[in-house]
Chains A and B, each alone.
Chain A
Amino acid sequence: MTIRNAIRDHGQRYRPRMACLKKAEKVVLEMQDPKTGVKSQPQRLVITTIPHAITGEDIIAWLAGRFQIDTQEARNFGSMLVALGYIYPLQDHKRLVIKPDASLYRFQTPYFWPTQQWPVEDTDYAIYLAKRNIRKKGILELHEQEHYNRLHKWMNHKWDFIVMQAKEQYRAAKERKKPDRVVFECQERAYWVVHRPPPGTVSAMDYGLDRRIDPNTVETKTPDFYERIMIFTQQSIMRPRVKSSVSIGALVKYCATYKNHDPFLLKCLPSNPWLTDDATYWTLNMPNVEIPTKMRVERWTFSFGELLSDPRGRNDFRLFLKKEFSGENLAFWESCEDLKWGTAATMREKAEQIYKTFLARGAPRWINIDGKTMEVTVKGLKHPHRYVLDAAQTHIYMLMKKDSYGRYMKSPVFKETTKKAICPEEHKFSDNQLEQNARNRRPSLSPIILRQMEEEQKAKMAANVDITQLCRFTTPVPHLAVYSGISDFPSATASPSLPFLAHTPACPSPISVALDSTSASERRVEASEGEGEGNPAARGPVGGNVSRSRMALSLRRLLKRGCTPSTMFASLSPKCHSAAGTSSRIQPISPNQPSQAPPRRIANFFQIKVDIPPECRIYPIESEDEEEENRAASRGGVGAKEIICPWESLTPQNGTG
């Protein structure tokens, strides 16, 4: 058959098949049967009567009888038929619903039925709007006006045709008898209400994305076609299978857990905005609302994933972790998400940033992951890509889930939140109020504004959290050698860190580059030395070599970290940029650099006095951030005492490890 779509659409955009249309057509044909269908009555207008009008209550009664369903369901079904455009209301033509009273409806002519094969044409719409304008100037509504202007711009070359055709159709309509003319106008108007609804309306014709292939074509059975089927079935066979008892059990458990939270199954409080046009539900459940609702808080108890995916829940969890001093886990997880979902251009810097902040030895917010993962991650960071931190992220996620999540659930913070959570009253709207609500619909905040708010939030958080998190006594003065002597070292197991240390000589730590030529054997010696000690204060200087003492310090710190590495700060802060004010580019890393150090000063208010070489310093992240920019600008990212990222190009001597 050579019948083709008149629009030469070379864009390969096809509308997906709407299977409901064919079914609705069958129902409508049954309904309009003069003998067995809905009983019709004439519509009386001032001058004439027009037959074949049906009342809403008759439609609902017929549907309920035909399909043996209850009235509410019949009403919904009837509304669907109206929304699809098979029946149109004669009064209140803009609201496409069935009213269960004596309001009148009529069947739409098959020419105006929705079809799959021919999309609704803009040319037709332009002609229709032009016709309406001929009839009465200025009758077009605002959105129609906007459409008209837009079409005038885009179909300018056809505009003469459109105007002339509008006139011709108008004239042709006048040839008809008046009742028929009225009916035709109603039909056309109803058609366009369905297919060009005013903005903000839920339209039954919304269908989502276009398809690449035409669903109406019959697929020819070429060898390609069979090949595709073969590949598909082979892949289906290869898929891992689960016992049905297990999978069904999981489904049942999921349903049992979530069934009270599903707005299709239970009423949502205060009311479903899609049904009642009242947006209280959405305002109560905004991402950053002060007091969450009870249902929301209950969802957080279902799983850790639920807690994290809800921004409010995540905030609560973050506060809890801050109190527990393990906030870096969540911060790391969030940074990994940011990396995964961010733009490709920023990936490299983000990966660097994350490495320096969380993963490097001596990082300010060091996270505790096992050696194997660390090794894999660091190796991957040489060629960073979007998913390079996946292993570490999963590890941290599991850590949080098994450890912090449980404690959070039992914590007073959470109990407080649960107590304060509100349970809103259900709305009971009368029909009039519903209509009022429908008229008072307002658009929500623009996504641009929402995004700005989000960014501000993020910036505020980045500024706030770290100061309290990192160090109570931090000063932004770079020269000051500070050591955060926060006394609440958890008597954590030193054992987790031990395997890590045992691994380090073997795996090429990028930090080794920064620590220059400290050999593996030296480190091993120090490791064994460090193992026996539990008291940071009891550390004697291990050799006069600054780097060695630095190393020892960092090792000891590593040992002490346990579960809260954030409380410890290594001598090797990633931003040791003012390592004695060196501002040159790539410095050859040599052990004898203490000469550059300014005279060390140890502040009085620190709990533990330690012989700290001046290169030990702590910086709050924010000052690090701004200083990093300066540093980055001036030095291109590699500094003397810095943690060098493994993927950055290095001078030849830094190949040890």
Chain B
Amino acid sequence: IPGPLCYSLLLLVVACYRHLASCVGGCTDSLQLRDELRQTREKAQKLAMAICQHLTLHLRDKSLPEEQRKEMELLWVAFSSSLELLHLDMCKVFNMSDIFSLANTDALVQTGLQGSEVAARALSLPDLNQTQSPTLPAGLESQERSTLEQEIGQIDHMIDDMEMKVNVLRWMVEPHGPQYADPLSSTDSASLAVFSVDEEQPGHQPLCQRNKFCAVLFLFAVVLVAGFISVSMVLFSGVCF
């Protein structure tokens, strides 16, 4: 598996995991969510394992040419950061699933979320079958818990291993990319900007927009009036002469 492609997949999965994790404990928390979390996690771990092996193999190879080594190191740093993010998210989910058990749906915080279509779609996973029973047998939860614990331990171990096996000097690594992320596409940002306007009802932005709108209207009216006057002048002069 080529490194960079695998790696962007991992980033995608980590981002999705975070979105899913932010729903835990909220009103959209459900068996389905937990299942999605689990599947995302597993996918992430598979990817991570593959990348780890690939990177470790290459970085321990002393005969690697310089630019390739630099590339690898960059990838390495990025990979370890994403692993740390994943690890943190997993710990948080573990903690929260302790507090918010699905058996007691009243305790789930009313956060205003509605959708059940969370970011699992980005994983292009087949839709999960809805045939699971709404009540959760107690055994399944604790089983989930222990698997999660195990997986967290595994990630931990992987991070440690990485540090032990390969010595990458982080301060020597220089990134290629820009300081600011470029906007992905203008349409998206426009639609979101509308939302930001809506939320802040007494905010300044609607006022500005309204002001701009009024100014435009006014100008338009002035132009109309000027046109009207000039036309009437022409007509009058026509009448006079």
A residues lining the B interface (CB < 8 Å): 1-4, 6-7, 28-29, 32-35, 40, 43, 45-47, 50-53, 90-93, 106-112, 115, 117-118, 121, 123-124, 130-131, 133-137, 152, 156-187
Contacts and interface: CB of A to CB of B under 8 A. Distances in A.
A29 B109 contact: yes
Interface string B183-208: 11000110011110011111100000
Interface in B83-109: 84-85, 87-88, 91-92, 94-96, 99-100, 106-107, 109
Contact of B175 (A34, A92, A156, A169): A156
A92 B202 contact: yes
B127 interface: no
Interface secondary structure of B, over-half rule: helix
Given A52-B27, A91-B201, A111-B96, 16 more contacts: A51-B110, A93-B200, A109-B22, A109-B113, A134-B181, A135-B189, A136-B193, A152-B179, A166-B181, A168-B12, A175-B117, A175-B122, A177-B115, A178-B195, A180-B114, A180-B115
B108 to A, nearest CB: 8
Contacts of A163: 177-178, 180-181
A134 B182 contact: yes
Contacts of B152: 2-3
Contact of A137 (B11, B109, B110, B180): B180
A40 B99 CA distance: 23
A171 B18 CA distance: 12
B188 to A, nearest CB: 7
B14 A168 contact: yes
Max count, chain B CB within 10 A of own CB: residue among A3, A170, A171: A3
Given A161-B78, A168-B12, A184 B19 contact: yes
Contact of B112 (A34, A91, A106): A106
B92 A111 contact: yes
B21 interface: yes
Contacts of B178: 163
Contacts of A110: 24-26, 96, 99-100, 109
A392 B109 CA distance: 66
A118 to B, nearest CB: 6
A121 B84 CA distance: 11
B114 A179 contact: yes
Contact of B14 (A107, A165, A183): A165
A163 B175 CA distance: 10
A161 B82 contact: yes
B190 to A, nearest CB: 9
Interface stretch (B48-56, B166-174, B223-231): B166-174
B57 interface: no
**4 tightest Cβ-Cβ pairs between the two chains A and B:** A110-B25, A161-B78, A168-B15, A159-B175
Contact of A157 (B16, B111, B175, B184): B175
A45 B197 CA distance: 10
Contacts of A158: 77-78, 81, 175
A160 B99 contact: no
A7 B92 CA distance: 14
A177 B175 CA distance: 34
Contacts of A108: 109, 111
B220 to A, nearest CB: 24
Nearest to B179: A152
B114 A130 contact: no
B88 A6 contact: yes
B195 A133 contact: no
B111 A183 contact: yes
Given A133-B181, A161-B82, A165-B82, A1 B12 contact: no
A107 B111 CA distance: 5
B118 A123 contact: no
A164 B9 CA distance: 11
Given A45-B198, A158-B78, A180-B114, A2 B156 contact: yes
Contacts of B189: 134-136
Contacts of B114: 50-51, 177, 179-180
Nearest to B13: A168
A177 B117 contact: yes
A173 B19 contact: yes
Contacts of A29: 107, 109
Nearest to A178: B195
Contact of B177 (A43, A50, A134, A159): A159
Nearest to A180: B115
A41 B76 CA distance: 48
Contacts of A171: 12, 15, 122, 184
Given A111-B25, A118-B88, A172-B19, A2 B153 contact: yes
Contacts of A34: 106, 110
B12 to A, nearest CB: 5
Contacts of B100: 110
A131 B188 CA distance: 13
Given A109-B109, A111-B92, A180-B114, A134 B184 contact: yes
18 contacts: A53-B112, A91-B203, A106-B112, A109-B113, A110-B109, A111-B23, A134-B189, A157-B173, A158-B77, A160-B78, A163-B178, A165-B14, A170-B184, A171-B122, A172-B16, A176-B115, A176-B117, A184-B22
Given A137-B180, A163-B177, A164-B8, A121 B16 contact: no
B176 interface: yes
A183 B112 contact: yes
B195 A45 contact: yes
B122 to A, nearest CB: 5
Contacts of B161: none
B42 interface: no
Contact of B11 (A1, A93, A117, A164): A164
Nearest to A169: B15
B110 A157 contact: no
B47 interface: no
Contacts of B18: 169, 172
A494 to B, nearest CB: 76
B115 to A, nearest CB: 4
Nearest to B22: A111
Given A53-B112, A178-B195, A165 B15 contact: yes
Contacts of B202: 91-92
A161 B25 contact: no
A135 B114 CA distance: 23
B111 A106 contact: yes
B188 A174 contact: yes
Contact of B195 (A32, A117, A121, A182): A182
Contacts of A182: 195, 198-199
Contact of B183 (A35, A137, A180): A137
Contact of A52 (B99, B110, B183): B110
Interface in B110-159: 110-115, 117-119, 121-122, 149, 152-153, 156, 159
A111 B117 contact: no
A182 B199 CA distance: 9
Contact of A160 (B117, B159, B177, B200): B177
B112 A50 contact: yes
B74 interface: yes
A2 B91 CA distance: 11
Interface in B1-40: 8, 11-12, 14-16, 18-19, 21-27
A172 B109 contact: no
Given A50-B112, A157-B77, A160-B176, A111 B21 contact: yes
A40 B110 contact: yes
Contacts of A177: 114-115, 117
Contact of A121 (B88, B113, B117, B203): B88
